[in-house]
Structure 1
Amino acid sequence: MLWSIIVGGFIGFVAGAITNKGGAMGIIANVIAGLIGSSVGQALFGAWGPSLAGMSLIPSILGAVIVVAVVSFFFGRR
Protein backbone atom coordinates (compact mmCIF):
# COMPACT_ATOMS: atom_id res chain seq x y z
CA MET A 1 0.00 0.00 0.00
CA LEU A 2 2.74 2.46 0.93
CA TRP A 3 4.73 1.54 -2.19
CA SER A 4 1.64 2.20 -4.35
CA ILE A 5 1.24 5.64 -2.78
CA ILE A 6 4.90 6.47 -3.41
CA VAL A 7 4.76 5.31 -7.04
CA GLY A 8 1.43 7.14 -7.50
CA GLY A 9 3.03 10.33 -6.19
CA PHE A 10 5.93 9.91 -8.62
CA ILE A 11 3.53 9.36 -11.53
CA GLY A 12 1.50 12.42 -10.50
CA PHE A 13 4.67 14.50 -10.16
CA VAL A 14 5.82 13.53 -13.67
CA ALA A 15 2.36 14.25 -15.10
CA GLY A 16 2.33 17.64 -13.38
CA ALA A 17 5.76 18.44 -14.79
CA ILE A 18 4.67 17.47 -18.31
CA THR A 19 1.52 19.62 -18.15
CA ASN A 20 3.24 22.50 -16.26
CA LYS A 21 0.65 22.16 -13.47
CA GLY A 22 2.97 20.51 -10.94
CA GLY A 23 3.62 23.69 -9.00
CA ALA A 24 -0.08 24.34 -8.48
CA MET A 25 -0.73 20.81 -7.24
CA GLY A 26 0.22 19.67 -3.77
CA ILE A 27 1.63 16.34 -2.69
CA ILE A 28 -1.81 14.86 -1.98
CA ALA A 29 -3.09 15.98 -5.39
CA ASN A 30 -0.04 14.43 -7.06
CA VAL A 31 -0.69 11.10 -5.35
CA ILE A 32 -4.39 11.16 -6.22
CA ALA A 33 -3.68 12.15 -9.84
CA GLY A 34 -1.08 9.40 -10.09
CA LEU A 35 -3.34 6.69 -8.69
CA ILE A 36 -6.39 7.69 -10.72
CA GLY A 37 -4.24 8.32 -13.79
CA SER A 38 -2.73 4.86 -13.43
CA SER A 39 -6.18 3.30 -13.55
CA VAL A 40 -7.27 5.46 -16.49
CA GLY A 41 -4.05 4.90 -18.42
CA GLN A 42 -4.05 1.15 -18.02
CA ALA A 43 -7.73 0.99 -18.98
CA LEU A 44 -7.15 3.05 -22.12
CA PHE A 45 -3.68 1.91 -23.19
CA GLY A 46 -3.25 -1.51 -21.56
CA ALA A 47 -0.53 -2.77 -19.27
CA TRP A 48 2.77 -2.63 -21.16
CA GLY A 49 6.22 -1.33 -20.41
CA PRO A 50 8.05 -1.36 -17.09
CA SER A 51 5.95 -1.63 -13.97
CA LEU A 52 6.30 -0.71 -10.30
CA ALA A 53 3.84 -1.63 -7.54
CA GLY A 54 1.51 -3.21 -10.09
CA MET A 55 1.32 -0.04 -12.20
CA SER A 56 2.71 0.04 -15.73
CA LEU A 57 4.66 3.28 -15.81
CA ILE A 58 4.21 4.54 -19.37
CA PRO A 59 0.42 4.04 -19.63
CA SER A 60 0.06 5.32 -16.06
CA ILE A 61 1.93 8.54 -16.84
CA LEU A 62 -0.13 9.04 -20.01
CA GLY A 63 -3.34 8.50 -18.01
CA ALA A 64 -2.19 10.88 -15.28
CA VAL A 65 -1.43 13.55 -17.90
CA ILE A 66 -4.99 13.13 -19.18
CA VAL A 67 -6.41 13.35 -15.64
CA VAL A 68 -4.35 16.45 -14.77
CA ALA A 69 -5.29 18.15 -18.05
CA VAL A 70 -9.01 17.46 -17.61
CA VAL A 71 -9.05 18.52 -13.95
CA SER A 72 -7.07 21.70 -14.65
CA PHE A 73 -9.41 22.50 -17.55
CA PHE A 74 -12.48 22.35 -15.31
CA PHE A 75 -11.01 23.65 -12.06
CA GLY A 76 -8.08 25.77 -13.24
CA ARG A 77 -7.83 29.50 -12.75
CA ARG A 78 -9.03 31.68 -15.55
Structure 2
Amino acid sequence: SKKVYNYPFLMGQGVWLDSDKLKWTDSVAEVLKHGTLSIGFIGLAEALKALTGKHHGESEASQKLGLGIIGHMRKRM
Protein backbone atom coordinates (compact mmCIF):
# COMPACT_ATOMS: atom_id res chain seq x y z
CA SER A 1 0.00 0.00 0.00
CA LYS A 2 1.39 3.40 -0.99
CA LYS A 3 2.13 5.94 1.71
CA VAL A 4 2.11 9.73 1.84
CA TYR A 5 5.92 9.75 1.54
CA ASN A 6 5.60 8.09 -1.89
CA TYR A 7 3.80 11.21 -3.18
CA PRO A 8 5.24 14.18 -1.26
CA PHE A 9 4.30 16.83 -3.82
CA LEU A 10 0.78 15.56 -4.49
CA MET A 11 -0.07 15.07 -0.83
CA GLY A 12 1.51 18.40 0.10
CA GLN A 13 -0.69 20.39 -2.30
CA GLY A 14 -3.97 19.49 -0.57
CA VAL A 15 -5.76 18.43 -3.74
CA TRP A 16 -7.29 15.38 -2.06
CA LEU A 17 -9.99 15.81 0.56
CA ASP A 18 -8.56 15.14 4.04
CA SER A 19 -5.02 14.65 2.72
CA ASP A 20 -3.90 17.43 5.06
CA LYS A 21 -4.80 15.17 8.01
CA LEU A 22 -2.45 12.36 6.99
CA LYS A 23 0.89 11.64 8.60
CA TRP A 24 4.00 10.98 6.51
CA THR A 25 3.68 7.18 6.95
CA ASP A 26 -0.12 6.89 6.51
CA SER A 27 -1.67 5.02 3.59
CA VAL A 28 -3.13 7.18 0.80
CA ALA A 29 -5.83 4.64 -0.15
CA GLU A 30 -8.72 6.32 1.67
CA VAL A 31 -8.06 9.86 0.44
CA LEU A 32 -7.71 8.69 -3.16
CA LYS A 33 -11.27 7.35 -2.98
CA HIS A 34 -12.50 10.94 -2.61
CA GLY A 35 -11.01 12.03 -5.91
CA THR A 36 -9.37 15.41 -6.36
CA LEU A 37 -10.58 18.84 -5.33
CA SER A 38 -9.72 20.49 -8.61
CA ILE A 39 -11.57 21.18 -11.79
CA GLY A 40 -10.46 23.06 -14.84
CA PHE A 41 -11.62 24.55 -18.07
CA ILE A 42 -9.05 22.84 -20.26
CA GLY A 43 -10.77 21.88 -23.46
CA LEU A 44 -13.69 24.31 -23.20
CA ALA A 45 -12.67 26.21 -26.34
CA GLU A 46 -12.15 22.94 -28.19
CA ALA A 47 -15.52 21.62 -27.01
CA LEU A 48 -17.22 24.80 -28.20
CA LYS A 49 -15.44 24.52 -31.54
CA ALA A 50 -16.65 20.92 -31.90
CA LEU A 51 -20.21 21.82 -30.89
CA THR A 52 -20.67 25.10 -32.77
CA GLY A 53 -17.79 25.38 -35.21
CA LYS A 54 -16.42 28.44 -33.36
CA HIS A 55 -14.77 29.02 -30.00
CA HIS A 56 -15.91 31.56 -27.40
CA GLY A 57 -13.85 34.38 -28.92
CA GLU A 58 -15.25 33.89 -32.42
CA SER A 59 -18.98 33.84 -31.79
CA GLU A 60 -21.46 35.37 -29.37
CA ALA A 61 -23.48 32.14 -29.45
CA SER A 62 -20.38 30.11 -28.54
CA GLN A 63 -19.59 32.59 -25.76
CA LYS A 64 -23.11 32.17 -24.37
CA LEU A 65 -22.91 28.37 -24.58
CA GLY A 66 -19.49 28.38 -22.87
CA LEU A 67 -20.83 30.52 -20.03
CA GLY A 68 -23.76 28.14 -19.73
CA ILE A 69 -21.41 25.17 -19.46
CA ILE A 70 -19.36 26.93 -16.78
CA GLY A 71 -22.54 27.90 -14.93
CA HIS A 72 -23.67 24.28 -14.95
CA MET A 73 -20.28 23.18 -13.60
CA ARG A 74 -20.48 25.74 -10.77
CA LYS A 75 -23.94 24.54 -9.74
CA ARG A 76 -22.77 20.93 -9.55
CA MET A 77 -19.74 21.66 -7.36
* Greater percentage in strand: 1
Question: Which has the greater radius of gyration?
Answer: 2
**Same fold? TM cut 0.5:** no
Q: Which gives a bigger RCO, structure 1 or 2 (Cα 8 Å, sep 6+)?
A: 1
* Greater percentage in helix: 1
